[in-house]
Structure formats: C-alpha cells, structure tokens
C-alpha cells in the first residue's frame, strides 16, 4: 500500500494536520530514513476518531519521532503510538515539553474518560500507565544542539508559541528540512520569538493557521483585553476565559496580574478575584518557575532583579475544582480546557452564560467543531453537557481577542522569505485560509517562476503524497499530486 | 450461542472482537459494528476498509458474508472528498466515506459487467 519513491526523492506524507488544524502528524522519507513529526489528536473528536490516520503508514519503519510542543494537537497521541502500535523508533522533545507533557496528558486522560461515560466502553486511547511507560522512553534535546541518529541529524530552535516549543531542522544526506511546528515571531512577556536557523533549508514545512489574516498590534490587543474585563467586572459581571491549562494561559496571567496591581484601587483593592482553575495548575506552574532560564531576556532580568519568581502571581489564586469556588460576585476565571468541550471551563460556561452582564472571552485558536468555535456564532442556546436533553440560554457577551501565538500573514511571509527554501509545504490550517496563503505565496514569488530559484508551494490533504526530487543537494524537479 | 469475529486495525498491536448471534456477518454489518464499537464518528471524514489478513484482499462487497471466528484487518483512511460541482456522485453510492455504515443504508453493490 505504500509507494516506495525513488532513491533521490523525498516523500512528505501527512497522517494528520493536512488541510486541518488538529491531529498534527507528518512523515518524511528520504534515502531510506523515516522521520515522524508530531503525534497529535484532533480536539473536536474523541477516542479513535481523534487520531491521525495511522493505518495508512507502517509505523514500525519510523526511525525518529520529533515532538514540536506539548499542545494536544501535537503530542496527545504519542503514548498511543508508543504503547499501542508497532512503532519502535526513538522519540525526542525539549526538556520543558517533556516536563509539562506528563501532567498535561494525565489531565487529558481524565477529561476524555469523563466525557465518554455514556456507552459503557472505555474509549480512552491510553491509560495513566501507558503514559508513564512512554514518558520513561522519551529522550530530550536542548535548543541549539544537534543529535545524529544513523545519519538523521536534527537541531532544535526556539519557536516562540509556548514554553518548550521547538522548530526542528532535519538534515539527511545534505538535504535540509525545516519544520516550524506552531510558531510565533512576536516577542511576548515571557517567550523568545522564533529563530531563523543559521543554515539554509531546502524544504520548509510551515504552519498556516491564520492564512492571510493580519493580527492587530499586540499593545492594542492587551488594552482591549484589560478594558473589556475591567468594564465587565465594574458592572458586576463575571468573566470566563477558557484557556488551555498551560502555555498561553501564563501569558494572559502575566498581563492580568500586572493590570490588577496597577489598578488595585479602581478594582476595589482585591475585591475582584482572579482565579486560575485547573487540576494541574499548581504542579505545572512549578515547571514554569523551573524553566524561567529558557524564556526571554526580559522575564529573566525581572527574575534576577526582583528575586521573586514572575510566575508567582499576587492577584491570582488557584482553584482545584468548582466545588470550592464561592461564586458571590464579579470575578475573572481562567479555566481549562480552552475550547470548552467538557470539564471545568464547560461547567462554568453553562453556569454563567444565561446572564447578559457576563462575558466569555476567547483568547486562543478555536478548532472547527468545538464549543468555543460554536459560541463565536452567538447562538441563542447551547447544549448542556450534563444533560443531553437540555439546552441552556446564552445571553452573555462573547468576545474574541487572539493571544494564540501563531504568526499572521505578514510575520509568516517575512519568515518564509528569510528561510528562502525552494519548496514550501503548508500544514496546520483549515482548507480555506491555507488555500489563500498558498495563492498569496505563489503571487509573492511569481517573479521567480521558471528560474533557478522557483518556489514550489504545496498544500496536501491528509494521506496525499508530496514527492520532491533531489540530486545530491541540488533540486532537479518538484512533483506534487 | 454467541459468535465472534476478530479484527485488528492495521496500526494496532491488539486485536478486538465483535460478538453477534449467527454464523456470519455481512461486510456492511461488520463495518458498522467496528465503527460503533470504536466510536469512530459519523463517517463523514473517514472511510473504513476491511481486508483478509492472509491474502490482503479487500472485502469490497457490502453484502459479502464473513463467517464467524474469522479475523479481518481494518484500515481507517481519510474520506475522499467529492469535488464534483453537480453532485454527480451523490446518488451513485460511490461516495468515499463511511456515512452509510452509520446511517444504516447499505449500498447495492454493482457487479462489473
Ligand atoms: Zn500549539
Ligand atoms: Zn497546533
């Protein structure tokens, strides 16, 4: 079932993340070496339905699996691959990714098992034991260090996006492929922005989440965020920020903690609490506290100068579960999961959404098919998760201000031009934005058409090959289908 | 007495089983059971194929009967999207996804002339 391509052809094959956001998983084959990039799940689905199309590839042939970052759409099927399939390769990720991965996926196992109690059958993809067993076998790589496994060389670079996120530049027989994973070029409060590797790349596999869209400047978004929250609590409303427990949530907390300190008086001097509700909040925050040295200069300097950890927040308290929450007045609640499928954020949504003075503020990227995406349509009612028969009126305000830390068009184009790879493969985007990005890139590089420097852009669907022909290091021709 | 058919997804190590009464299951019913058992979804974004594990031959005919105690290999693949603007394929049953196994409307297998 698997075509073996010619000796000098490089094959790219998406088992997931092709023309979709979710279940990222890509295969690279060149000179008899096989690499897998990421092993995610699709957040809009559960159980087996959420997996990449693993039946379409012989996983036993994979030499190396590289995980770009800890988000579920990139890492959550890793324990499944390592424990339930005949995969025998070696797995690499950065230290912070590994540290967070463990806690995060435990939470994932729990959340998915709660959501599936109906049929009686356990549709967890893996157990806590599988997770622990896989954890022990994962190897780590430092930023800017290169690992060589039987002729597959790979180097990790900062990707921005979330703590521990890496881009990988892979080199086999002189041909270099750069995989961005999810990446950000914006300097934020705690992370470095994505780096341009010093060596050139022949192939660039790049995310296309935002397609040709443009982000508003960072300062505007911060101002909007804090003003919206401030005005909602001032008129007695409650604010729900559904967040992924780790990653961008910490950036939002840095913003809110500072704002609350600066506006303590107007906010009634501690009368309006901010909660961070996540079962793993405390444990994972210690990871953030540990890895301050891998963040940007600004936050490292703060850490050194003030002798206090910037992730020990003055104005934010932890909430383990909803039972210990005293819901008496205006408050701000950061709760996971970020797309409101089930769990804490969903419970709070169902409690707060009937009231017009309340606000749901979406700051992350919302995948097609999730409650977060549905809310954006401002529906009159939403289905209740505890009672399948019931619907709940939705009168609360819905706003979206993105702090998702993916590049916008301008940032992506600038980066793509800096890499100047002759072959560009677009992944991690819904079909339409990805298609628009492809057209925009082709017209941007139109003047090179027919020359030595011609740029080829591919936007393959899942399980559709891209074959690139190389002669030594020199590119002969590119064929896609 | 209950009968069993064993199935294994191509990428998986473990074998699953479908229990039923009778001497065999049609390909249609077997696919339907596997989809339900594994909660594979509504069928719009994937297709499901089953194979004889010894010969690697695909069981294409929905009405073909797989005898009890057999083993089959299962392959879940992306749906083939129909790009026809006129919806030409809509009524021919040639749609490349698994919805019919979920809705329960078998397609009539067209024998090649
Ligand atoms: Zn991500
Ligand atoms: Zn992602």
pLDDT single digits (tens) A410-432: 999 999 999 999 999 999 999 99
At A288 the pLDDT is: 82
**Tens digit of each residue's pLDDT (9 = 90 or more) over A362-412:** 999 888 889 999 999 999 999 998 888 899 999 999 999 999 899 999 999
Closest C-alpha to A21, from A340, A402, A433 = A433
* Residue among B11, B74, B81 minimizing CB distance to A59: B11
Closest C-alpha to B101, from B72, B71, B79 = B79
Q: Which of B12, B16, B17, B78 to mutate to test the interface with A (most CBs of A within 10 A)?
A: B78
Q: Which residues of A touch B37 (CB under 8 A)?
A: 121
Interface A:B, Cβ pairs < 8 A: 50
Q: Which residues of B touch A462 (CB under 8 A)?
A: 78
**Tens digit of each residue's pLDDT (9 = 90 or more) over A58-100:** 999 999 999 999 999 999 999 999 999 999 999 999 999 999 8
Q: Which residues of B touch A461 (CB under 8 A)?
A: 78, 81
Cβ distance A49 to B9 less than 8 Å, yes or no, reads no
* Dist CA A310 CA A300 (whole Å): 9
Question: Over 90: is that where the pLDDT of A203 sits?
Answer: yes
Cβ neighbours, 10 Å, residue A117: 9
Nearest CA in chain A to B34: A48
SS3 assignment, position B101: helix
The catalytic position among A74, A406, A428, A456 is: A406
Q: What is the mean pLDDT of chain A?
A: 90
Pair A393, A275: CB distance under 8 Å? no
Portion of chain A with pLDDT greater than 70, in percent: 94
What is the Å distance from ligand 1's center to A259 Cα?
26
Token look-up 């830390």 returns: A405
Dihedral (CA of B58, B60, B62, B67) sign: negative
SS3 assignment, position A448: helix
Closest C-alpha to B69, from B9, B20, B12 = B20
Residue A104 to residues A84, A108, A164, Cα–Cα distance (Å): 20, 6, 14
First-to-final CA distance of chain B: 40
What's the ipTM? Answer: 0.86
Instruction: Give whichever of A188-192, A199-203, A388-392 has the largest mean pLDDT.
Output: A199-203
Q: Helices A128-137 & A95-114, crossing angle to 10 degrees?
A: 170
Closest C-alpha to A63, from A154, A134, A149 = A149
**Tens digit of each residue's pLDDT (9 = 90 or more) over B9-61:** 999 999 999 999 999 999 999 999 999 999 898 888 899 999 999 999 999 99
Cβ distance A85 to B75 less than 8 Å, yes or no, reads no
At B109 the pLDDT is: 53
At A433 the pLDDT is: 97
Cβ distance A46 to B39 less than 8 Å, yes or no, reads yes
At A285 the pLDDT is: 74
Average pLDDT over residues A239-263: 92
Pair A55, B74: CB distance under 8 Å? yes
Q: Which residues of B touch A54 (CB under 8 A)?
A: 9-11
Residue A317 to residues A314, A325, A350, Cα–Cα distance (Å): 8, 11, 22
Nearest CA in chain A to B44: A49
What is the Å distance from ligand 1's center to A68 Cα?
9
Residue ranges near ligand 2 (ion) with Cβ within 5 Å: A 73, 182
Phi and psi of A71, rounded to 5°?
A: -55, 145
Cβ distance A84 to B40 less than 8 Å, yes or no, reads no
At A191 the pLDDT is: 92
What is the Å distance from ligand 1's center to B54 Cα?
41
At A6 the pLDDT is: 57
Confidence of residue B89 (pLDDT cuts 50, 70, 90): very low
* DSSP-assigned states of every residue in A343-390: SHHHHHHHHHTT-TT-EEEE-S---TTSHHHHHTT--SEEE-SS-TT-
**Tens digit of each residue's pLDDT (9 = 90 or more) over B60-80:** 999 999 999 999 999 999 998
Nearest CA in chain B to A80: B12
What is the least distance, in Å, from the CA of A46 to any CA of chain B?
Answer: 8
SS3 assignment, position A14: strand
Q: Residue B99 half-sphere exposure, CB side, CA atoms within 13 Å?
A: 11
C-alpha dihedral, A436 to A439 to A445 to A449, nearest 10°: 160
Pair A238, A333: CB distance under 8 Å? yes
* DSSP-assigned states of every residue in A272-304: S-EEEE-TTHHHHHHHHHHGGGGS-HHHHHHHH
Pair B106, B98: CB distance under 8 Å? no
Closest C-alpha to B57, from B22, B27, B14 = B27
Question: Over 60: is that where the pLDDT of B85 sits?
Answer: no
C-alpha dihedral, B88 to B90 to B96 to B102, nearest 10°: 180
At A110 the pLDDT is: 65
Residues of B near A (Cβ–Cβ under 8 Å) read 9-14, 37-41, 46, 74-78, 81
At A92 the pLDDT is: 98
Is residue A406 among the annotated active site residues? yes
Contact partners, residue A107, CB within 8 Å, separation at least 6 = A245, A278, A279, A280, A336
* Residue among B40, B41, B77 minimizing CB distance to A463: B77
At B24 the pLDDT is: 95
Dihedral (CA of A230, A368, A364, A276) sign: positive
Cβ neighbours, 10 Å, residue A49: 21
Q: Nearest ligand to the C-alpha of residue A207?
A: 2
Token pair belonging to A67: 């995980």
* Residue among B38, B39, B78 minimizing CB distance to A463: B78
Closest C-alpha to A336, from A247, A228, A233 = A247
Confidence of residue A302 (pLDDT cuts 50, 70, 90): confident
What is the Å distance from ligand 1's center to A161 Cα?
7
What is the Å distance from ligand 1's center to A247 Cα?
9
Residues of A near B (Cβ–Cβ under 8 Å) read 45-49, 53-57, 59, 84-86, 116, 119, 121, 123, 461-463
Confidence of residue A244 (pLDDT cuts 50, 70, 90): confident
The whole-angstrom distance between residue A75's C-alpha and the CA centroid of its chain comes to 9
Closest C-alpha to A77, from A60, A53, A58, A97 = A53
At A294 the pLDDT is: 87
Closest C-alpha to A349, from A314, A326, A389, A383 = A383
Could you tell me what percentage of chain B is helix, strand and coil, using 3-state DSSP and rounding each to the nearest 5? 15, 35, 50
Nearest CA in chain B to A16: B78
Cβ distance B38 to A47 less than 8 Å, yes or no, reads yes
Nearest CA in chain B to A14: B78
* Dist CA A296 CA A250 (whole Å): 14
Question: Over 50: is that where the pLDDT of B87 sits?
Answer: no
Helix (H) or strand (E) holding A306: helix A297-306
Pair A444, A222: CB distance under 8 Å? no
Cβ distance B14 to A84 less than 8 Å, yes or no, reads yes
Comparing A7-16, B52-61, B81-90, the range with the smallest average pLDDT is B81-90
At B82 the pLDDT is: 54
At B75 the pLDDT is: 97
Q: Residue A222 half-sphere exposure, CB side, CA atoms within 13 Å?
A: 14
Q: Which residues of A touch B99 (CB under 8 A)?
A: none
Radius of gyration of chain B (CA): 14
At A114 the pLDDT is: 43
What is the Å distance from ligand 1's center to A217 Cα?
20
What is the least distance, in Å, from the CA of B100 to any CA of chain A?
Answer: 17
Q: Which residues of B touch A121 (CB under 8 A)?
A: 37, 39
Cβ neighbours, 10 Å, residue B33: 17
At A341 the pLDDT is: 86
Phi and psi of A275, rounded to 5°?
A: -115, 150
Pair B32, B101: CB distance under 8 Å? yes
* Dist CA A289 CA A292 (whole Å): 6
What is the Å distance from ligand 1's center to A178 Cα?
17
Cβ distance B11 to A116 less than 8 Å, yes or no, reads no
């Amino acid at each position: 079932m698997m075509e073996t391509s010619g000796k000098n052809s490089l094959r790219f094959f998406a088992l997931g993340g092709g023309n979709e956001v979710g279940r990222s998983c890509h295969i690279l084959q060149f000179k008899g070496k096989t690499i897998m990039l990421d092993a995610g799940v699709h957040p809009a689905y559960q159980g087996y339905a959420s997996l990449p199309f693993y039946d379409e590839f012989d996983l036993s042939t994979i030499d190396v699996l590289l995980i770009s970052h800890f988000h579920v759409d990139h890492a959550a099927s890793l324990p499944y691959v390592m424990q339930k399939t005949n995969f025998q390769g070696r797995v690499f990720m950065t230290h912070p990714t590994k540290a967070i991965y463990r806690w995060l996926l435990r939470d994932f196992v729990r959340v998915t098992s709660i959501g599936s109690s109906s049929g009686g059958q356990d549709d967890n993809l893996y157990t806590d034991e599988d997770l622990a067993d896989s954890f022990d076998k994962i190897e780590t790589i430092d930023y800017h260090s290169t690992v060589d496994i039987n002729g597959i060389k790979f180097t990790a670079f900062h990707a921005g996006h979330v703590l521990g996120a890496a881009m990988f530049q892979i080199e086999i027989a002189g041909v270099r492929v750069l995989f961005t994973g999810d990446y950000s070029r914006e300097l934020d409060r705690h992370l470095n922005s994505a780096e341009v590797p010093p060596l050139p790349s022949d192939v660039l596999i790049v995310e296309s989440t935002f397609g040709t869209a443009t982000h508003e400047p960072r300062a505007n978004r911060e101002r909007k965020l804090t003003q919206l929250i401030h005005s909602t609590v001032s008129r007695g409303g409650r604010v729900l920020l559904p967040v992924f427990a780790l990653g961008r949530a910490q950036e939002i907390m840095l913003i809110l903690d500072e704002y609350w300190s600066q506006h303590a008086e107007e906010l009634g001097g501690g009368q309006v609490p901010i909660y961070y509700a996540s079962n793993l909040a405390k444990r994972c925050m210690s990871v953030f506290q540990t890895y301050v040295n891998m963040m940007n200069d600004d936050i490292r300097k703060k850490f050194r100068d003030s002798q206090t950890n910037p992730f020990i927040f003055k104005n934010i308290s932890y909430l383990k579960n909803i039972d210990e929450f005293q819901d008496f007045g205006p408050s701000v609640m950061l709760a996971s999961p970020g797309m409101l499928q089930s769990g804490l954020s969903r419970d709070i949504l169902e409690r707060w959404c009937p009231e017009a003075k309340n606000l749901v503020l979406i700051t992350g990227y919302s995948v097609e098919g999730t409650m977060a995406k549905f809310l954006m349509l401002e529906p009159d009612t939403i289905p209740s998760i505890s009672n399948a028969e019931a619907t709940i009126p939705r009168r609360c305000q819905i706003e979206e201000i993105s702090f998702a830390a993916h590049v916008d068009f301008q940032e992506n184009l600038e980066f793509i031009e800096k890499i100047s790879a002759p072959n560009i493969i677009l992944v991690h985007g819904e079909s339409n934005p990805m298609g628009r990005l492809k057209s925009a890139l082709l017209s941007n590089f139109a003047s090179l058409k027919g020359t030595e420097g011609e740029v080829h852009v591919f936007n393959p669907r899942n399980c559709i090959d891209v074959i690139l022909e190389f002669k030594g290091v020199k590119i002969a021709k590119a064929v896609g289908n | 007495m209950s009968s069993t058919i064993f199935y294994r997804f191509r990428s998986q190590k473990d074998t699953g089983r479908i229990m039923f009464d009778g001497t065999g299951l049609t390909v249609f019913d077997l696919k339907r059971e596997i989809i339900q058992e594994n909660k594979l979804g509504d069928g719009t974004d994937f297709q499901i194929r089953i194979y004889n594990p010894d010969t690697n031959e695909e069981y294409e005919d929905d009405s073909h009967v797989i005898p009890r105690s057999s083993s089959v290999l299962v392959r879940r693949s992306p749906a083939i999207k129909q790009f026809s603007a006129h919806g030409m394929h809509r009524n021919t049953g040639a749609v490349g996804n698994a919805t019919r196994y979920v809705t329960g409307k078998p397609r009539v297998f067209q024998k090649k002339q």
